[in-house]
Structure 1
Amino acid sequence: MTKVTREKDIERYLREQVKRIKGVAYKFESPGNIGVPDRLVLLPGGKVYFVELKASGRKPRPTQIRQQKRIKDLGNEVYVIDSFVGVDVFISKCEGRI
């Protein structure tokens, strides 16, 4: 049986890694808009990303998928991350754009 990594542990790791590359990962909440991504990541050079965090192996709910599509349709990037490795891949992409 595979051990499930908790969402809050992945979220903490994301915050630490974003801070390491001189960015911030704000907790994102939008009253009246159910399903918005968990974090708004702001990086040097004006780079902005929306990040939905899930426990390992978990998938976004339909309301989250709708919000992600809406954000993407406006030209923004949305990432769904469910592992420490996923955070590392995201950070690598970000470092290449700073």
Structure 2
Amino acid sequence: MRESDIEDYLVKRVKGMGGEIRKVKWIGRRGAPDRVVMLPPLRIQILHADSPVTATEIREAVRKVVTGPQPTTIWVELKAPGEKPKPHQAREHERMRRMGQLVVVIDSIEGVEELLA
């Protein structure tokens, strides 16, 4: 399997979830992830539970629905199976993480599924 096969699968899965995915070209920055995944906010559902739901739990769930959870943005570095980021890529990923960004490296279809589960 090639990196492009994993990339095609990621694009298909993200779009199938109602998300957007972009290929990013960085100017003056080596090692940054080449894909940005934007997923829509998740909705909270109150399901029937075996034990009663407390008023506090209901208020908290309603507050989350009303204010709306934040959308999810993920920076993705795709690699061929078994391939690891080069040292300059790992450094850039760490810089981005220190800035509060979610950066993941994916080298398999299973990795895509794990990310989007």
Report the TM-score when normalising by structure 1.
0.86
Equivalence map 1:67-82=2 (5 Å): 67-82=92-107
Rg larger for: 2
Q: C-alpha displacement at 1:28, in angstroms?
A: 1.4
Instruction: Tell me the distance in 2 between the aligned counterparts of 1:56 and 1:48.
Output: 24
- Identify which of structures 1 and 2 has the higher relative contact order when contacts are C-alpha pairs closer than 8 Å and 6+ apart: 2
CA contact (8 A) 1:29 1:36 kept: no
Instruction: Tell me the distance in 2 between the aligned counterparts of 1:13 and 1:63.
Output: 26
| AA partner of residue 48 (structure 1) | T
Percentage of pairs with the same residue: 44
Instruction: Tell me the distance in 2 between the aligned counterparts of 1:6 and 1:74.
Output: 31
Residue 38 (str. 1) matches residue 34 (str. 2): yes
List gaps (5 residues or longer) in structure 2.
Answer: 42-70
2:11 counterpart (12, 15, 18): 15
Report the TM-score when normalising by structure 2.
0.73
Q: What whole-Å deviation, never above 9, does each CA across 1:24-50 have from its counterpart, x for those lacking one?
A: 110012111011102000111221100
Determine the structure 1 residue equivalent to 2:87.
62
Task: Judging by fraction of residues, say which structure has more strand.
Answer: 1
How many pairs does the alignment contain? 88
| AA partner of residue 14 (structure 1) | L
List gaps (5 residues or longer) in structure 1.
Answer: 93-98
Instruction: Tell me the distance in 2 between the aligned counterparts of 1:38 and 1:8.
Output: 12
